[in-house]
């Protein structure tokens, strides 16, 4: 069976040995895959509005001891329709998601119990992730040209109770991101970008969260788009969802890189300006640069409205630390937020991951009495002022015009 227009991406599947291996070779291929200008191998320009197409390969896998009745076409809808709609909106039409799913389910050579992992990131047996990736990519090695794709997703005919996690990023993620490693199949094909793993129940926010790790790439041995929840808190004992919510201390439910989703029955919320900038999805001309020593008034448009003149304000404190100010309104996917108003974030580019209470970006909480950062937004008539006495800075909401805010920034005290 062939995929689109005779491209011959998938040929008739051939039997492969159980001794197939995944080789990690040191290479510098990731240098061109960062979120600061390079293109991920496998990406290409599209005639559809000039967006950059990130092509995904979805490998459907099932297990001898787990039954399911998922239609093979279902993953294509999830990734290439629903996720594509989300990515196009988040990138202001700059990026599209396209690709192929294997035409049938590939039976893994082992029971799912041999791949099953802990629900807590810090307790995951990485050898089991390595084993699943190895078996999955080698199962389709004879049929697929991996060079055509910028990311790979393993989509399992299994539930979270069978596997242990709803979704994860194997690389760059669980299997590391510090070294510049290349994933290779048994025949020597390079697996571009990285590999994410999902149960078929995965929420759209989970699908995006783990694919975004890959799309962001690696720079200087660090993921450009890390998880924004605290890994140490996520490893605490207790009910899984309750523990996870307690770990969202940095960005709450204002970015799916923190929360995956605000409510299960809703699509994911939109991305914060910090994540959009890390993905290079926001035009730098839409970011107003302000020095803390100067006075400025900026009309800040809603982050979801790409035609606004200013979508974010950056107040630099040092070469690596700064505030980002953004306006979140119930427009598009931002209808799925816990609130509305102006978010102020403190960012520190020296911090690579959310560990030990530190985070590369963290919300300033306008209303600490409201749990889970749900009241973090500043707004007219309540919590209009933010003062950083240490850095001598004041950020004030001076008024609102439609969905846009007049933001005044200046030294403190005056």
Residues near 291 by beta carbon (within 8 Å), at least 6 away in sequence: 315, 316
Q: d(Cα 399, Cα 397) in Å, to the nearest integer?
A: 6
85-118 confidence digits (pLDDT tens):
999 999 999 999 999 999 999 999 999 999 999 9
Return the exposure string of 95-121: e unless at least 16 CB atoms fall within 10 Å of the residue's CB, then b: bbbbbbbbeebbebbeebeebbbebbb
What is the full DSSP assignment across 27-75?
--GGGGGSTTSPPPTT-EE-SSTTPEEEEEEEEEEE-TT------TTHH
* Three-class SS of 369-386: CCHHHCCCCEECCECCEE
Q: d(Cα 388, Cα 340) in Å, to the nearest integer?
A: 22
Q: d(Cα 206, Cα 238) in Å, to the nearest integer?
A: 21
24-56 confidence digits (pLDDT tens):
322 322 223 333 333 455 666 554 678 999 999
Q: d(Cα 211, Cα 57) in Å, to the nearest integer?
A: 11
Instruction: Say which residue the tokens 């199962």 belong to.
Output: 139
Q: What is the pLDDT along the chain (414 residues), one digit of tens a residue?
A: 333 333 333 333 333 332 333 333 223 222 233 333 334 556 665 546 789 999 999 999 999 999 999 999 999 999 999 999 999 999 999 999 999 999 999 999 999 999 999 999 999 999 999 999 999 999 999 999 999 999 999 999 999 999 999 999 999 999 987 655 678 999 999 999 999 999 999 999 999 999 999 999 999 889 999 999 999 999 999 999 999 999 999 999 999 999 999 999 999 999 999 999 999 999 999 999 999 999 999 999 999 999 999 999 999 999 999 999 999 999 999 999 999 999 999 999 999 999 999 999 999 999 999 999 999 999 999 899 999 999 999 999 999 999 999 999 999 987
Q: What angle do CA 47, 51, 57 make, to 5 degrees?
A: 95
Q: d(Cα 170, Cα 150) in Å, to the nearest integer?
A: 15
């Amino acid at each position: 069976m062939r995929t689109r227009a005779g491209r011959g991406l998938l040929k008739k599947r051939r039997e492969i040995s159980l001794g197939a291996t995944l080789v990690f070779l040191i290479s510098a291929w990731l240098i061109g895959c960062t979120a600061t200008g390079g293109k991920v191998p496998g990406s290409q320009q599209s005639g559809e509005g000039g967006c950059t197409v990130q092509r995904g390969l979805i490998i459907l896998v099932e297990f001898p001891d787990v039954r399911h009745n998922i239609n093979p076409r279902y993953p294509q809808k999830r990734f290439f329709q629903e996720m594509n709609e989300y990515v196009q909106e988040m990138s202001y039409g700059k990026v599209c998601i396209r690709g192929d799913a294997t035409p049938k389910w590939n039976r893994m050579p082992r029971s799912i119990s041999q791949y099953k992992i802990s629900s807590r990131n810090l307790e995951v047996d990485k050898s089991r992730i390595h084993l699943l990736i190895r078996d999955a990519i080698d199962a389709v090695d004879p049929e697929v040209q991996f060079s055509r794709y910028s990311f790979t997703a393993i989509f399992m005919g299994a539930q979270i109770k069978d596997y242990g996690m709803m979704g994860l990023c194997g690389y760059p993620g669980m299997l590391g991101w510090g070294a510049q490693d290349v994933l290779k199949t048994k025949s020597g094909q390079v697996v571009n970008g990285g590999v994410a793993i999902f149960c078929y129940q995965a929420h759209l926010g989970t699908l995006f969260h783990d694919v975004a790790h890959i799309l962001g790439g690696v720079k200087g041995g660090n993921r450009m788009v890390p998880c924004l929840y605290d890994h140490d808190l996520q490893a605490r004992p207790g009910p899984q969802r309750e523990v996870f919510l307690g770990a969202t201390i940095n960005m709450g439910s204002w970015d799916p890189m923190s929360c995956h989703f605000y409510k299960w029955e809703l699509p994911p919320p939109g991305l914060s300006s910090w994540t959009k900038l890390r993905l290079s999805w926001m035009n730098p001309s839409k970011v107003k640069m302000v020095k803390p020593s100067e006075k400025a008034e900026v009309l800040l448009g809603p982050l979801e409205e790409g035609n606004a003149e200013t979508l974010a304000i950056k107040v630099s404190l040092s070469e690596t630390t700064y505030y980002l100010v953004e306006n979140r309104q119930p427009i598009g996917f931002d209808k799925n937020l816990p609130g509305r108003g102006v978010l102020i974030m403190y960012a520190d580019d020296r911090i690579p991951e959310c560990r030990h209470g530190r985070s590369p970006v963290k919300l300033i909480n306008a209303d600490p009495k409201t749990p889970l950062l749900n009241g973090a937004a500043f707004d007219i008539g309540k919590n209009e002022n933010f003062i950083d006495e240490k850095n001598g800075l004041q950020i004030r909401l001076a008024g609102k015009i439609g969905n846009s805010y007049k933001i005044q920034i200046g030294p403190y005290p005056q």
